[in-house]
Chain A
Amino acid sequence: MHQLLQQIFSGLAAGAVYASLALALVMIYRATDLVNFAQGEMAMFSTYIAWTLVNAELPFWAAFVITLAVSFVGGMLIERIVIRPVENAPILTMVVVTIGLLLIFNATAGWLYSYTLQEFPSPFPDRTLFGALMTTRDVGVIAVTLVMLVALFCFFRFTATGLAMRAAAQNPESARLCGVRVGRMLALGWGFAAAIGAVAGIMVAPVLFLDPNMMSGVLLYAFTGALLGGITSPVGAVVGGLIVGVTENLVGTYLIASQLKLTVALILIIIVLVFRPNGLFGTALVRRV
């Protein structure tokens, strides 16, 4: 029983990271109908920025905040420079563009920082709580994710800009007619997604160690989480990410070798697509033909 609770809890901590990245995916999907395959590599690159700052003797949380700000601006620039020109292109074109971004970020990180594993400092002391039921690191990761989610919720729910972003994502033409600058809202969305991804990267790096391929597995789990929650639902992304984290951890502990854990994500994807393609919270896409 003790081990089960332990595993559930560390699954939640992993799930919090997947949930963040899934949320970033959903934000971009809602705004542009596009799955951003570069989301994981963008997060990885942000983590390298944080690592550089920490190595330059900056306090961890200062590096954290600066990295978020840089990632936010970087995300907006990517939208402006790379995505905007292909905005009205067929969906496959846009998918290829994001895969191109993935390769560019991966190669650039490898070129700048090399492909060797780097140790990334954890901001949380490594201690166990409640009779080794959970570690302070797990609690820290979950707490950071929760704070971020609440902040995002308040932004989208209570500010005029947040409302305008939701309106622009939902009905761009009508939003334009109301004077909302839809292009700027899309750029903001990319900025937010990049910053959320940065949080995920920084939280997961102490466990996985930092290297340019760090996020490939995480991105797959995040996809699964987003899909499980229903790719259009932010709440679904968070719930889906947590479910994936716990499932993966439990199955890896009790059923199969932990090297096979990634298979769990793939099986979950197939199950969701076959039995419930709209996910837990997603809305069915109905198109009139």
Chain B
Amino acid sequence: MTAILELRAVKAFYGQSEVLHGIDLAVEEAGMTVLLGANGAGKTTTLRAICGMVRTEGEIRFGERRLERCTTEQIAGFGVAHVPEGRGTFTGLTVEENLRIGGYTAGRPDEKMRLMYGYFPILAQRRRQQAGALSGGEQQMLAIARALMMSPRLLVLDEPSFGLAPRVVEAIFTIVEQIKREQRVSVLLVEQNASLALEMADRAYLLETGYVVTSGTAKVLADDPQIRRSYLGY
């Protein structure tokens, strides 16, 4: 398998302070990688580092390209679709306008919008509503649909389950898995719900205070006694 995304010895900084201390990480082509770890471990920072939103050192390779020196806009244009923490909803725009913004660089918005309405029928019903009026789950669906409008090669999801009811989370993950299969998009996922994430992912990394402490196939990590105790609760 070839990696679509590869991080080598990546450090990240907020101002002067170093918050990632040399991370190695890979996402396989058409695979799903999950980052686990407690609050403040550096999961979100890792995602922000990939998209050029924090100052970094080290090597970030996406396909043939190097991302370290690129702007966030350029990285999005290369096909990295990042659904940020808090979903990044344009609350004052309608659902349809949110989707159009996603398709801003990639073109063919109408065709892709139909595809998204197929995956998320609820968004079709609410297409003319202000996105801010949607429920949390609907906003998360909108955020994922908006990201997919970019026809990405890599989908980056930052805690899609945050603040949602378990049933909604499961529905969203089912669709994400279906989309990943059908659109052959690779996924990099940050998730607090470790058992669900490990079930879906093929690779996993455990972060602690800016270091990768354990990594391997999701299966191996799910059986690791320490991870079971700390993150799976059994």
* Alpha-carbon separation in the docked complex, A181 to B70 (Å): 13
Residues on A with beta carbons closer than 8 Å to the beta carbon of B102: 178
B150 at the interface (CB under 8 A from A): yes
Residues on A with beta carbons closer than 8 Å to the beta carbon of B97: 163, 166-167
Which of B53, B91, B146 interacts with A178 by CB under 8 Å?
A: B146
A173 at the interface (CB under 8 A from B): yes
Are B73 and A179 in contact, CB atoms less than 8 angstroms apart? yes
A170 at the interface (CB under 8 A from B): yes
Are B150 and A173 in contact, CB atoms less than 8 angstroms apart? no
The interface bits of chain A over 221-262 (1 if a CB of B lies within 8 angstroms of the residue's CB, else 0) are 000000000000000000000000000000000000000000
Are A167 and B90 in contact, CB atoms less than 8 angstroms apart? yes
Take A167-B101, A179-B76 as given contacts and tell me if A174 and B93 are in contact as well, using a CB distance cutoff of 8 Å.
no
Number of A-B contacts (CB under 8 A): 66
Tell me the dominant secondary structure on chain B's binding face: loop
* Alpha-carbon separation in the docked complex, A160 to B102 (Å): 11
Are B105 and A178 in contact, CB atoms less than 8 angstroms apart? yes
Residues on B with beta carbons closer than 8 Å to the beta carbon of A164: 101, 104
Residues on A with beta carbons closer than 8 Å to the beta carbon of B150: 178-179
A177 at the interface (CB under 8 A from B): yes
B84 at the interface (CB under 8 A from A): yes
Residues on A with beta carbons closer than 8 Å to the beta carbon of B225: none
* Alpha-carbon separation in the docked complex, A265 to B2 (Å): 67
Are A174 and B88 in contact, CB atoms less than 8 angstroms apart? yes
Residues 49-67 of B contacting A (Cβ, < 8 Å): 51, 53
* Alpha-carbon separation in the docked complex, A178 to B105 (Å): 8
* Alpha-carbon separation in the docked complex, A178 to B89 (Å): 11
Which of A167, A170, A175, A177 interacts with B51 by CB under 8 Å?
A: A177
Are B53 and A175 in contact, CB atoms less than 8 angstroms apart? no
B72 at the interface (CB under 8 A from A): yes
Are B88 and A179 in contact, CB atoms less than 8 angstroms apart? no
Q: Which interface residue of B72, B92, B101 has the most chain A CB atoms within 10 A?
A: B101
The interface bits of chain B over 108-151 (1 if a CB of A lies within 8 angstroms of the residue's CB, else 0) are 00000000000000000000000000000000000000100010
Tell me the dominant secondary structure on chain A's binding face: helix
Are B88 and A173 in contact, CB atoms less than 8 angstroms apart? yes
A52 at the interface (CB under 8 A from B): no
* Alpha-carbon separation in the docked complex, A175 to B102 (Å): 9
Residues on A with beta carbons closer than 8 Å to the beta carbon of B81: 177
Interface size class of A (residues with CB under 8 A): 10 to 19
Q: Name the CB-closest residue of A to B79.
A: A179
Residues on B with beta carbons closer than 8 Å to the beta carbon of A176: 53, 71-73, 76
Are A179 and B105 in contact, CB atoms less than 8 angstroms apart? yes
Take A163-B100, A164-B101, A179-B150 as given contacts and tell me if A174 and B76 are in contact as well, using a CB distance cutoff of 8 Å.
no
Take A160-B100, A178-B101 as given contacts and tell me if A167 and B73 are in contact as well, using a CB distance cutoff of 8 Å.
no
Take A164-B101, A174-B84, A177-B84 as given contacts and tell me if A182 and B92 are in contact as well, using a CB distance cutoff of 8 Å.
no
Residue numbers of B with Cβ under 8 A of A are 51, 53, 71-73, 76-77, 81-82, 84, 88-93, 97, 100-102, 104-106, 146, 150
Residue numbers of A with Cβ under 8 A of B are 160, 163-164, 166-167, 170-171, 173-182
28 A-B pairs, CB-CB below 8 angstroms?
A160-B100, A160-B104, A163-B100, A164-B101, A166-B97, A167-B90, A167-B97, A170-B90, A170-B91, A171-B89, A171-B90, A176-B53, A176-B71, A177-B76, A177-B81, A177-B82, A177-B88, A178-B76, A178-B102, A178-B146, A179-B73, A179-B77, A179-B105, A179-B106, A180-B73, A180-B105, A181-B73, A182-B73
- Beyond A177-B88, A179-B73, list 18 extra A-B contacts (CB 8 Å): A163-B93, A163-B104, A164-B104, A170-B91, A170-B92, A171-B90, A173-B53, A176-B53, A177-B81, A178-B76, A178-B102, A178-B104, A178-B146, A178-B150, A179-B104, A179-B106, A180-B101, A180-B105
